[in-house]
Structure 1
């Protein structure tokens, strides 16, 4: 089935909505997430430590900041989803938002780490303003990458492969940060970590900006709903949510998975620095955590033989095993590395499939309601991810404060217990909860392939 697409670069052309996506486009799509993670990894992994140990903000205040900022950020996702569904340009619905948002996102991310000399209240105000702004602009750049996926092709396997390129690109961004950030901070700051973070963030943000432009220029949106590519009224778009049980399951799963993932990232630097007193292995462990790439790369091959749901559950179980190995390791660096590799490879499976599962719920919503609303569905489910990210960032520093944490000092036994709780045990519990969500909530009335076939038949009959 051909559908008419008017792209400002490619001109008016007929595209098959079920076609294979060209390799250059898949690579360019992945580079968008590389750019996102060059910035996002710094924020999620190092910002709490930057605020508490470098910029001098108290742990309890940082925890509250992290949660409030994410609660504000939860509002922008559904609004952005509505705006994407209402967008109707020659570039499509999602791509223009990458173009419009990438420059301000890069600028604000740099300013977030500028660290000006201010009073205590001034520092808090500065942190709130720029952290919230960075989160909102990150959503404006990254959410379109999510909403694009179900619009790039109707081919189920091609969507999985394209998402693998995206997740691989994101992991490469994270790998670059974890390999180079702390050495860059030390080199560029020459003893002044605040200055080092600022200069390093300039490098990462400008590099990300180039990658965002590559993504915009080299990707396409092909799939339209039965009604075409016209703007979707909010009331119509919400119909795609009603009765969409897989979407509800993905939202619950997103909360638990992101809380678990971000909590562990936020707590890692404290665990290595204070709990096992080996700060020199921070970059090594965070870099090795990028072995989740192995799980992500395996996804397109495994989905040919196993269901996406079973792969997600298996990956979470493997991740729990990795966490338990780290617990048994104590301060044994070799065992910590082994546990990190095992857990990260396992986490690569749900990480590589989460956004594919989200995209699948767009098809389910259209099949159930007759309305295709990728903006609302993908962005509204992003609210769950934002809530999880907020909790994952806030809980560790709240626990630190409750344990009497004092930056750059010998920590109390209670503070050390809180660090271990954040890095080891809460992620284990949340991993188990995520498995239960996938088993008991994420359910379909019929196989996804049958639903896609019915939708294609509807589009043919409509045309």
Structure 2
């Protein structure tokens, strides 16, 4: 349809692409850190895996608090550029600059000073810069796309580009590290972080300049409501709906699955399969399978609904883990398991970011006010806590298994620990997702 023919609030192909590029860009920070930062800390900075996991978890829990704070700040923002868009644009440069500090722990520092550097820079990256960037980015979704069906399409395109970032990272990161001295060399991490920071800057800038919010902030009633305690009304309505808790649970579980498996495979291919060079093959296989699944997700949602689709997806993921356990040390079986789990994860990647717009619509139905920033902060809390738990599980699992970053050959218990992290823990997480989604019936509440 032409711009004149499209209903108001339905995005064009160009808008979908421009919005998706933002997530492609942000994953050059987020997925890079989620998949590779633990390896940098354990093998280059030489900090114990268990300690790193604990630091990441504690800071991610603090991150959940910052999500609520910045969500409230978005609710109070009313500018000619929009409500969430100004925060997104203003966070881009701080995000990419801080990532460079994260991946440049000075070698001359004492062990304690290195820990302080790690804590401060990781705090600034995740609790401050990325929180503002990611929260405002996803808050824009309900303001640029006002139709539920269109949102599913926008979110699916976004999900494809997010996993495209994973594909690029899985190919480029090993090449950049190896070409600059290997994962134990600081110079290699500096160059790699610089390349990915520039990519994030360019892609997110395209999103900022090309995506505009369709709901105007010039409405004096909206401004008056925000000043007269309507935020408290929104918080009350939010915490008194079960969908608030279901959304958090599913987000946490999804990001544990995604973060834990991606990060563990960096170690798994080397210690279990015996060839670190296989990481790119496994990661690329996972990304392609997930992208195929994401492409099919809108049709599945339209045919079966989100609730049923996601419950079936959990069962598929469990089946993939069973295949992985049976053939944990055989490359072919690992690749088959990777395809199945990728297909199982895909509908969650495509669907969970439409949870917030659905809840926003529900609260608007109840209160007559749209709470984009507040509700979207729920997503962000789930992302941060889930990723933090994934990092903690990886660090603790490696520690229990006896991992030592200074060794070239690990103890025999390490591969077993990594198999449990890749296939055992995700089975439990998938069961939790399935139970949570059995309670997601918001479409009935909205009369869809």
TM-score (norm 1): 0.89
Post-superposition offset of 1:336? 1.0
1:415 matched to 2:414: yes
- Match for residue 180 of structure 1? 172
Tell me: CA distance 1:60–1:19, structure 2 relative to 1, closer, same or farther (3 Å): closer
Q: Which moved more, 1:410-419 or 1:27-36?
A: 410-419
Post-superposition offset of 1:446? 2.4
The equivalences for 1:48-447 within 5 A come to: 48-117=38-107, 118-135=109-126, 136-189=128-181, 193-223=185-215, 229-230=222-223, 232=226, 233=229, 234-291=231-288, 292-407=290-405, 408-439=407-438, 441-444=439-442, 446-447=444-445
Tell me: CA distance 1:190–1:156, structure 2 relative to 1, closer, same or farther (3 Å): closer
Contact 1:240 1:371 in 2 (8 A): no
Distance 1:188 1:19 in 2: 47
Post-superposition offset of 1:221? 1.6
Post-superposition offset of 1:427? 0.7
- Match for residue 16 of structure 2? 26
Contact 1:99 1:216 in 2 (8 A): yes
Post-superposition offset of 1:447? 4.9
How many correspondences in the alignment? 436
Tell me: CA distance 1:15–1:81, structure 2 relative to 1, closer, same or farther (3 Å): farther
- Match for residue 458 of structure 1? none
Tell me: CA distance 1:125–1:285, structure 2 relative to 1, closer, same or farther (3 Å): same
Tell me: CA distance 1:337–1:241, structure 2 relative to 1, closer, same or farther (3 Å): same
Q: Secondary structure at the match of 2:302?
A: coil
Tell me: CA distance 1:346–1:361, structure 2 relative to 1, closer, same or farther (3 Å): same
Post-superposition offset of 1:157? 1.0
Post-superposition offset of 1:415? 3.2
In the alignment, structure 2 segments of 5+ residues that lack a partner are: none
Q: Once superposed, what is the RMSD of the aligned Cα atoms?
A: 2.2
- Per-residue CA deviation, residues 69-111 of structure 1 (Å, 9 max, x unaligned), is 2122112111110011111011111111111100010000111
Distance 1:229 1:91 in 2: 16
Contact 1:59 1:405 in 2 (8 A): yes
In the alignment, structure 1 segments of 5+ residues that lack a partner are: 1-13, 451-463
Post-superposition offset of 1:16? 9.0
Contact 2:183 2:189 in 1 (8 A): no
Q: Secondary structure at the match of 1:195?
A: helix
Contact 1:19 1:153 in 2 (8 A): yes
TM-score (norm 2): 0.92
Q: Secondary structure at the match of 1:241?
A: helix
Q: Secondary structure at the match of 1:446?
A: helix
Tell me: CA distance 1:169–1:449, structure 2 relative to 1, closer, same or farther (3 Å): farther
Contact 1:163 1:352 in 2 (8 A): yes
Tell me: CA distance 1:223–1:312, structure 2 relative to 1, closer, same or farther (3 Å): farther
Contact 2:271 2:414 in 1 (8 A): no
Contact 1:245 1:443 in 2 (8 A): no
Distance 1:133 1:101 in 2: 12
- Per-residue CA deviation, residues 248-279 of structure 1 (Å, 9 max, x unaligned), is 21112112222222222222122212123221
Tell me: CA distance 1:304–1:191, structure 2 relative to 1, closer, same or farther (3 Å): closer
